[in-house]
Chain A
Amino acid sequence: MEGGVESASKDVDQPLLSLRGISKNFGAVEALREVDLDVSAGEVTAIIGDNGAGKSTLIKTVSGILTPSEGQIFWCGERVALKTPREADELGISTVYQDLALCDNLDIVANMFLGHESLRYRLLDENAMEAAAKVTLNSLAVTTVRSVRSLVVSLSGGQRQSVAVARAVMRDAKLVILDEPTAALGVTQTAQVLSLIRRLADRGIAVLVISHNLNDVFTVADRLAVMHLGRMVHVGPISEFTPQTAVEIITTGTFVGAKANSTRSQPSNAGDRQ
């Protein structure tokens, strides 16, 4: 494991985030077992796996909610300890949870600046916040909201997701983690959110997506990371997978597809791939 760490930190084209040997125990339950994962800027990495595979636990360790029992986290090649969500936030790791964490009773601008309001003479600077919110929404081509002063309660599911993502981007996030971003959305809105995810990556942001929906994953992801019962079974570019093989790995936990489809058969360790 140490050798892998050395190579990860010396690599010129180093990944933005590297997880090495991450384990997490809840009492006797092993939620994560020696998970390795690299996430690069400008790429959409999708984590897939069945219920209980450890996807949520993994992103919680990255977003600072859970501290891993063992293992190391590297950010831009430097070892970091993410003890609180605030520490992750300060590094530029923003997580958009499935419930989006928006305040229905506030408008879009207030939600985007929640906890980070711009001040002028120690008072809220509404004009500056409104202008910045508009710039961010426009840069992400979020064009379906009628007014940035609309209350969030009046927005559709896709628009809410867009607001939550825009909030992450506005705070100069370098890594945006999305937990089931399309779970509750209709067809049109799913398409909107997926193109939004694509634009995030095109801006050079690293995106980590958890999803159950393989259609969405194959539409938007550059790399797939498949988990099974707390282990990272396989990480690779999306071209290594077909929906068929992906389902097989998710259910069986072994990378059958590699032997059948790919000549680049390799051990299931992201660090060794480089």
Chain B
Amino acid sequence: MTDEESSLPDESETANSGLQESQDQDVVAIDSATSVLEADDVSDGSFNAYLKGSLTKLRSGQSGLLPILVGLTALVIFFQLKNSLFLSVGNLTNLLTQASYLVMFGFAEIWVLLLGEIDLSAGYNGAIGGAVMAVLAGTYHRYPWWLAILGGLAASTAIGALVGTIVIRLRIPSFIVSLAFLLGLQGILLKVVNFDNYQGSVSVLNGPLLDLVNGNLSRTAGWILIAGAVGIYAVLVIVSDARRRRSKSEGAPFIITLVKVFGVAASGLVLLLVCNANRGIIVPLSGIPFCVPIILGFLITWKFLLTRTRFGRNIYAIGGNAEAARRAGINLGLNRVTAFALTGLTAGAAGILYTSRLGGSSAAVDGGQLVLLAVAAAVIGGVSLFGGRGKMIHALVGGMIIAIIYNGMGLIGLDAATQDIVIGLVLLAAVSVEAVSRRGSTVRA
């Protein structure tokens, strides 16, 4: 869905000429008006047909995650060649925890980006969620960890819903409303971290709350988690693909189902082996970081909401053509406010991860930087800023890329200035590819 042709210049050239050719052919095919709706090359579900369909999609600019994964692989190889520590188990696990809050902020921003809106206040909103959690669990209140988390999430959700309500009710562009909130929430954050005589900094002393990012599952728990997740995934995919084939819906042939299942199983196994290996230097240390199942949980739940429910379909429809959605009887206001609230909720979760990672909250949290990285993560992953196009997985990949670049450049000894310049260039490259492919995909229309 990212509609990118390629992240590599030499490939995009050939892809472009291929695109031109395929469009010419398509016009001929359309005008000759042959009955192809039920033709074998779409609905018989054979492997060749699937491959052909994918190739057509690729050439018409719907290349999905492919280019961005190619870019990610290139980055990994580059950093590993420059510093052999990059792919060490210690650094890889570190990378996961570094990426965790970026990815989560990216998930948050996707809800509003899909509507064609933006929420600049999500960074400070998340920071407030984390700070509220820290205060609730802190010395003066000592609420249990789960209540503190619920409190933080509730605060962020409410703020997100408020931003959305103002945008919808007063019909002010979300850019301006959320900009006002970005400025205002900075002050609120100061108030929260000065609550209860805290002097501008609240430490997290509660074990489970620190463990959210810094703690690890036991090796056995890791095995159970991965085996369970892969098992459930396999059953769901096989059953749903089988039903698609039975009802003669268009979809992947069985071999692709198998490839998907094995791909997920292999990734799970790699994750497990990397995290379960001993990465301790003085004392043994191993296990999957807690943030991994948290991130995966959000990814799966949000993906489910977006792709399997009427609400998710409405979000895409509003982002694609709000007027069409309105005429189809979709309640624009309710759906939009819900999306803003979900942005707030997810930002709260991200802020809680961030607070847990830093071991506390303070006035020094830069919510502006956090939200801009969140937008960057989503866009690098392939989410469109114009609304209607993007998936949750894009924030995962985009957030990982940003984390890899910071981590890798740190390892090879580049200074912060260079790191920022490179991140800027990567973002620019990603949106350029998106813009070019967008042009490509609308030529025929």
Which positions in A face B, CB cutoff 8 Å? 85-86, 89, 97, 99-106, 110, 114-117, 119, 122-124, 126-128, 130-131, 134, 137-138, 142-149, 151, 153-157, 159-160, 188, 192
Contact = CB atoms under 8 A, between A and B. Distances in A.
Nearest to A137: B37
Contact of A110 (B31, B243, B313, B327): B313
B327 A101 contact: yes
B392 to A, nearest CB: 16
Nearest to A101: B324
B411 to A, nearest CB: 39
Given A114-B325, A127-B243, A146-B29, A103 B60 contact: no
A188 B29 CA distance: 13
A123 B316 contact: no
A207 to B, nearest CB: 19
Contacts of B324: 100-103, 114
A30 B44 CA distance: 58
Nearest to A123: B308
Given A89-B329, A126-B249, A105 B316 contact: yes
A151 B60 CA distance: 11
Contacts of B29: 146
A157 B444 CA distance: 9
A21 to B, nearest CB: 28
A227 to B, nearest CB: 24
Contacts, number: 124
A156 B30 CA distance: 8
A211 B320 CA distance: 28
Contacts of B53: 147
Contacts of A127: 243-244, 247, 249
Contacts of B330: 114-115
Which residue among B53, B60, B319, B321 has the maximum number of chain A CB atoms within 10 Å of its CB? B321
A103 B37 contact: no
A173 to B, nearest CB: 14
Interface residues of B, number: 45
Contact of A103 (B42, B243, B316): B316
A124 B321 CA distance: 20
Given A114-B324, A157-B445, 19 more contacts: A85-B329, A101-B323, A104-B320, A105-B320, A105-B388, A106-B388, A114-B328, A115-B317, A116-B328, A117-B313, A124-B308, A127-B247, A142-B37, A143-B37, A145-B37, A146-B37, A148-B250, A153-B442, A156-B27
B316 A85 contact: no
Contacts of A116: 328-329
A218 B429 CA distance: 53
B17 interface: no
B142 interface: no
Given A85-B327, A101-B323, A149 B250 contact: yes
Given A105-B388, A148-B37, A188 B31 contact: yes
A110 B248 CA distance: 17
B35 interface: yes
B38 interface: yes
A105 B319 contact: yes
A85 B324 CA distance: 13
